[in-house]
């Protein structure tokens, strides 16, 4: 198990789900200036292949449906990173009718990075923090999703029609 945790921490494949304004911060972290690849983090095309889901900005209900679908398509163990204040408490869209105020209600989040769009250094710092948590085996937010699956589904159903939108395959 320890070897797996070590290897999982060293090679985190990121599902680059660019929602909201945080997406602009990703290119500098990826390219030569801040080079996140040296920590073994490379952007992957499909949720099937990735372990890390980045929510980089405010989430409207419409994108939440896609995010939940992508999250469920990722193999476990999977980790979620919430960027910016919009994911924490809705940020400057706190009073908007269709923006999600607390990301936690819908999908479990491992690490939040505050700041109205954190700079690349903060993102790298978050990655390193996540690495240690995985290495020590503490980052198991994904278990919460499986254990209280109904609670999450109830919260989601308040916002959109889960029945129509969820994937029906034998879990």
Partner 1 sequence: MAMFLLLLIIGLTGLLAFILGPIKVLRNIISLIGAIGGLLYFVFKIRPGQAYALNIKIYNVHFGTGMSALSIFFGIILLGLFLIFLIASFHEDNDGAYYMFSFFSLLGALGVLFAKDLISFFFFFETMSLFSFLIVLKGNGETSHRSAFKYVMWSAFGAYAFLLGTFLKVNYTHSVMITDISYLGGNIKLWILILLLTPFMVKTALMPFHLWAPGAYTDSKDTYTVFLSGGLSKIGVFGYFIALFNVFSQIAVLYPWLLKVFAYIGAITASLAGIYAFMQDDAKKLLAYSSISQLGYVAVGFGVYSHFSVVAALFHALGHAVFESLLFLVVAGVYYRTKTHDLRKMGGLIKKMPLSFIGLLFGIIATSGIPPTIGFPSKWLLYEAIILKNDLFLVSLVFFASITAFLYSYKLIHSIFLGKLHKEHEHIKEAPFGYGFGIVVLLIPLFVLGTNPGIVVKPIDYIVRFYLKPDLAYNLTNMTTPLGHVNFPAIGITMTLLFTLSFIIYLIFGKSYRAAQEDNYTATEWIDKDFGLHYGGEFYGFMRKAFGKPLTWSFEKILNACLKVVSFLGEIARGFYMGDARVYLFYIILFFAIIVYIMGGKL
Partner 2 sequence: MSILYFFLYLLLVTVIGLLYMGVARKVTAHIQNRYGPPIYQPILDVLKLFGKRHTVTHGVMHSLGPVIAYTGIASTLLFLPLGNHTPLLHFKGDLFVVLYLLVVGPLGMALGAGESSNPNATIAMARALSLMLGYEIIFFMATLPVFYHYHTASIYKVIQAQGVFPHWGAIIFPISFLAALFALQGMMGEKPFEIAIAPHEIASGPMVEYGGKYLGLLQLWHAVGIIVETGLLVDIFFGPQNIIWFFIGTFIVFYVVILVNAVMPRFRIEQAVRFYWGIPLLLAILGILQVYIWR
Residues constituting the chain = 171
- Using CB under 8 A as the binding rule, whether residue 3 contacts partner 1 is answered as no
Contact, 117 vs 88, CB < 8 A?
Answer: no
Cα(167)–Cα(94) distance, integer angstroms: 30
Cβ-proximal residues to 56 (8 Å cutoff; 6+ apart), any chain: 17, 18, 19, 20, 21, 22, 23, 25, 26, 83, 84
Shortest separation between residue 66's beta carbon and partner 1, angstroms: 4
- Please give the residues from 48 up to 107 whose contact with partner 1 meets the rule CB under 8 A: 48, 65-67, 69-70, 73
- Using CB under 8 A as the binding rule, whether residue 38 contacts partner 1 is answered as no
Shortest separation between residue 92's beta carbon and partner 1, angstroms: 26
Helix (H) or strand (E) holding 31: none
- Using CB under 8 A as the binding rule, whether residue 2 contacts partner 1 is answered as no
> Which region, judged by CB under 8 A, interacts with partner 2, from 2-10, 57-65, 81-89, 96-104?
2-10
| R_g (Cα) of the chain, nearest Å | 15
- Using CB under 8 A as the binding rule, whether residue 75 contacts partner 2 is answered as yes
- Please give the residues from 24 up to 53 whose contact with partner 2 meets the rule CB under 8 A: 31-33, 35, 37-40, 42, 44-46, 48-49, 51
Residue closer to partner 1 (CB basis): 33 or 171: 171
The count of other CB atoms within 10 Å of the CB of residue 149 is: 11
Which among partner 1, partner 2, none contacts residue 115 (Cβ within 5 to 8 A by kind)? none
Cα-Cα-Cα-Cα torsion 40, 43, 48, 52, nearest 10 degrees, comes to: 60
Which among partner 1, partner 2, none contacts residue 8 (Cβ within 5 to 8 A by kind)? partner 2
**How many binding residues for partner 1 (CB under 8 A)?**
15
């Amino acid at each position: 198990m320890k070897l797996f945790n070590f290897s999982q921490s060293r090679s985190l494949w990121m599902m680059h789900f660019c929602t909201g304004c945080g997406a602009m911060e990703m290119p500098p972290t990826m390219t030569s200036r801040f080079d996140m690849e040296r920590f073994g983090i490379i952007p992957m095309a499909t949720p099937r292949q990735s372990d890390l889901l980045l929510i980089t900005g405010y989430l409207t209900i419409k994108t939440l449906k896609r995010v939940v679908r992508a999250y469920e398509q990722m193999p476990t163990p999977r980790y979620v990173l919430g960027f910016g204040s919009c994911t924490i408490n809705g940020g400057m869209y706190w009073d908007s009718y269709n923006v999600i105020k607390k990301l936690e209600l819908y999908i479990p989040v491992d690490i939040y990075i505050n700041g109205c769009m954190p700079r690349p250094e903060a993102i790298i710092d978050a990655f390193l923090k996540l690495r240690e948590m995985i290495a020590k085996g503490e980052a198991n937010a994904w278990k919460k999703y499986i254990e209280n699956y109904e609670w999450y589904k109830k919260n989601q159903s308040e916002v959109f029609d889960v029945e129509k939108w969820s994937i029906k395959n034998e879990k």
